[in-house]
Structure 1
Amino acid sequence: MAGICNKLFKLTISTNFCCLETTYKISLQVRNRQKNVPRLRFPLWYLKKERTLYPEKLTLENKEFIEEVVHDTFGPPAVLSGISTYKTTSPLKTQPVEKGVWTENSKRCGLITRKIGCYPMWDKNGKIIWSTLLQVIDNHVVKYTPPEEVDPPRKPKRFLKPNKYGVLLVGAESANPQLYTKEYCGLFTAAGLPPKKFLGKFNITPDAIIQPGTPLTACHYQPGDIVDVCGKTVDRGFQGVMKRWGFKGMPASHGVTKTHRRGGNIGGGGEKGRVWPGTKMPGHMGNKWRVLRGLKIWRINTKYNILYVQGLGVPGETNSLIYVHDTLLPLRKRKESPLYFPTFYPQLVDTPLPDDLYDSTVHPFDQPSITFA
């Protein structure tokens, strides 16, 4: 009887003395657009992040003592550039690295930002410029892996060449270490940093190495730089061909019945005679990583670490993560050394920077637009 129940109802019945335990198995459909190719190997920093929270029955004095230890280790809590973090005053714990010299083949680190909205600006001729605001959220360099130690999971089968790029691990947005596992917090011990909520990997050349523990700000770039942004698009769910692919649809009247928003023929006769792979059909829309290349930085706010990037097409919802790095377009790549290489160091600047840095073609709002002779 138990075998029949297992085949028909997928029930698992186990009897132990007088205890009867029943387990039901339910299948739920999950709609997404992820690749079905399994990951060959996880990276070194792919560890269990969140720990299991349970009632520890700590007294008020114990909680205050734990918070005191956290503040003594990472510094007192503070709000820096509009982001809640810890005010670290300890020097960098790792050995200092030698500063490299920029070349045309140099590839430096990027930033992890958060999309916070859109904003209009005007150039000096009165033409409107729409921009997207990307805020750099408490970025720090966590770890550097030299090229000889980088072992990618997928390697080319032919023309195998030695790897020339190292890996720089960047963390964003400091968090309370009590919320994470011991293994995950151990990633930041060598750099002397509190655990970060988000991690990002950037491939760099050895001449663009940055010492672990160094903060990264919006001054990593300058107004006029061309960057590429990467983010996850807005999840639209299951959509038809008119919204997903922009089809015109069928006529609204004149004999059309029940096909107003349909896609029409998908596999004609003759030589075609089938549905070809890649045919535009209804399906899941959005929730995919997309890269937008060749965006110009019009303005930088140094007080709150905000980048004003060209256009309104930056992928992702508001408050979503956006990864920013130097553009890879061959005709818009950097031809000369950046102002700060490999990154911006505040201690090397004699005078403090202004709150807003503008491109030469943008009209600053704090200056008059019309002058009379």
Structure 2
Amino acid sequence: MTTSNLKLLCSNFCKLRLDNMVTRSNSYYKPRYRPPHWYMPKDRVMTDDMVTQENKQFIEEVMKDKLKMQTEMKSPLVEGDVQQTVQWSPFIKRTGLIARKIGNYPVWDKSGKKLQTTLLQVVDNHVIKYIPPEEYKPMRNSTQSGIRTQRHGCLLIGSQTIDPSTVTKDYCGIFDSVGMLPKQHLCRFLISPEAALPTGTPLFATHFRVGDYIDIRAKTIDRGFQGVIKRWGFKGMPASHGVTKTHRRPGNIGGGGEKGRVWPGTKMPGHMGNRWRILRGVKILRINTKYNVIWALGVAIPGETGAMCYLYDTVLPLKKLKTAPPFPTHPPMSDLPLEYYDESIHPFDDSTITLDDA
């Protein structure tokens, strides 16, 4: 090895990195996507496959035919293949839905009060696979003693059908075995064995009812590295009177004496957002059956516009289901009303002022 090559290696591998400096506690942690071991890689390298224009048109026609067949496929609940013999009880856990956050919208109650809501659209949800409790092996045991007592099965739900040519062969294999087209998003829901659904069952927004409370799980907006004022809401230092270059700094971060150190959990600058959070006890005020849109009360649902959310029946004791919901899910029906409103919400198509002749 020559001297020039040695200097080049030292300059590349021995220089100080400001984005990854090892400290006494731990190294720099950057939030990144870590799929589970069972998950197949989805994204493929988009190379030129040397396909002629006629073959491309033929592939597009085949894809349209397959997509049409899947959309026209009847639900097993309608065809009568599933005989539901178990009645719903408060101890049975139903499946959830995958929805897309599409924005905020105001509604008014019957007293004239304005309420802000978040619109969640249930996009093309289908049951991909059901794993019974005997075969489902979670990555973490449900008990601390190490003896796994699994009482729930696993229902794999897919959302938003995509072109199979844009994903890998291994990822398509998950859906080929069940006769479905690939889905953009997948989610596992732990359910009771009594609430199992067959493969290919479509799920709609009417799986929930107006007035019910749901839990919404989503990933917060990724805001990158932020200071204490934006991340934790600190006031900051004064603007003048001797303050120099410390206007947005946190100030003292440790005490004196025997406890003269930085305590664990101290609020300091760091990465903000990109964390999974659950908002519990959100009330459903309105449901549109044509576009499968759910109006959820409040604007504090995690995620940016266009983010995917996972909807569950709430686990809060005082807001749990008191009456039987659609069990195991709501079957597709053609004679449903276009809109469902909560009893406290004023429908837009009703009159707001009535005049008496007297």
Output the TM-score relative to the length of structure 2. Answer: 0.87
Q: What is the correspondence of 1:206-245 to structure 2 with a 5 Å cutoff? A: 206-245=193-232
Q: Secondary structure at the match of 2:318?
A: coil
Deviations 1:313-367 (A, max 9, x none): 01111111111111111221112211x11111024xxx61121110000000110
Deviation at 1:116, TM superposition (A): 0.6
2:296 pairs, out of 303, 309, 313, with 309
| Structure 2 counterpart of 1:51 | 44
Q: Secondary structure at the match of 2:134?
A: helix
Deviation at 1:29, TM superposition (A): 4.2
| Structure 2 counterpart of 1:89 | 73
Deviations 1:89-110 (A, max 9, x none): 3776x99444232111111111
Deviations 1:67-118 (A, max 9, x none): 3333344426xxxxxxxxx6343776x9944423211111111111111100
2:133 pairs, out of 126, 131, 147, with 147
Q: What is the correspondence of 1:266-305 to structure 2 with a 5 Å cutoff? A: 266-305=253-292
| Structure 1 counterpart of 2:57 | 64
| Structure 2 counterpart of 1:21 | none
| Structure 2 counterpart of 1:16 | none
| Structure 2 counterpart of 1:137 | 123
Q: Confirm or deny: 8 A CA contact 2:228 2:267 kept in the other structure.
A: yes
Q: Confirm or deny: 8 A CA contact 1:141 1:169 kept in the other structure.
A: yes
How many angstroms apart in 2 are the aligned matches of 1:172 and 1:120?
27
CA distance change for structure 1 residues 308 and 90 in 2, over 3 Å: closer, same or farther?
A: closer
Confirm or deny that 1:34 pairs with 2:31.
yes
How many angstroms apart in 2 are the aligned matches of 1:154 and 1:292?
23
Q: Which moved more, 1:173-182 or 1:131-140?
A: 173-182
Q: Secondary structure at the match of 2:346?
A: coil
Q: Confirm or deny: 8 A CA contact 2:75 2:202 kept in the other structure.
A: no
Q: Secondary structure at the match of 2:48?
A: coil
How many angstroms apart in 2 are the aligned matches of 1:297 and 1:353?
18
What runs of 5+ residues in structure 2 fail to find an aligned partner? 21-27
Deviation at 1:209, TM superposition (A): 0.8
Confirm or deny that 1:166 pairs with 2:153.
yes
CA distance change for structure 1 residues 58 and 268 in 2, over 3 Å: closer, same or farther?
A: same
Q: Which moved more, 1:189-198 or 1:214-223?
A: 189-198
How many angstroms apart in 1 are the aligned matches of 2:282 and 2:30?
27
Q: Secondary structure at the match of 1:331?
A: helix
Deviations 1:237-296 (A, max 9, x none): 111111110111122222222222111111010242100011000111111111111100
Confirm or deny that 1:187 pairs with 2:182.
no
Deviation at 1:6, TM superposition (A): 5.5
How many angstroms apart in 2 are the aligned matches of 1:105 and 1:6?
68
| Structure 2 counterpart of 1:114 | 100
| Structure 2 counterpart of 1:175 | 162
Deviation at 1:10, TM superposition (A): 5.9
Q: Confirm or deny: 8 A CA contact 2:75 2:332 kept in the other structure.
A: no
CA distance change for structure 1 residues 62 and 306 in 2, over 3 Å: closer, same or farther?
A: same
Q: State the one-letter code of the partner of 1:323.
A: Y
1:250 pairs, out of 219, 232, 237, with 237
Q: Secondary structure at the match of 2:304?
A: coil
2:345 pairs, out of 362, 367, 371, with 362
| Structure 1 counterpart of 2:24 | none
Q: Secondary structure at the match of 2:319?
A: coil
CA distance change for structure 1 residues 223 and 9 in 2, over 3 Å: closer, same or farther?
A: same
Aligned residues: 344
Q: Confirm or deny: 8 A CA contact 1:229 1:292 kept in the other structure.
A: yes
How many angstroms apart in 2 are the aligned matches of 1:109 and 1:219?
13
Deviation at 1:153, TM superposition (A): 1.6
Q: CA RMSD in A?
A: 2.9
Q: State the one-letter code of the partner of 2:37.
A: F
Q: Secondary structure at the match of 1:71?
A: helix
| Structure 1 counterpart of 2:114 | 128
1:199 pairs, out of 175, 179, 186, with 186
- Percent identity for Structure 1 against Structure 2: 51
Deviation at 1:49, TM superposition (A): 1.4
Q: Confirm or deny: 8 A CA contact 1:228 1:325 kept in the other structure.
A: yes
How many angstroms apart in 2 are the aligned matches of 1:167 and 1:314?
25
Q: Confirm or deny: 8 A CA contact 1:96 1:211 kept in the other structure.
A: no
Q: Secondary structure at the match of 1:66?
A: helix
| Structure 2 counterpart of 1:82 | none
Q: Confirm or deny: 8 A CA contact 1:74 1:193 kept in the other structure.
A: no
Q: State the one-letter code of the partner of 1:137.
A: V
How many angstroms apart in 2 are the aligned matches of 1:104 and 1:51?
44
How many angstroms apart in 1 are the aligned matches of 2:348 and 2:75?
38
What runs of 5+ residues in structure 1 fail to find an aligned partner? 13-24, 77-85
CA distance change for structure 1 residues 274 and 128 in 2, over 3 Å: closer, same or farther?
A: same
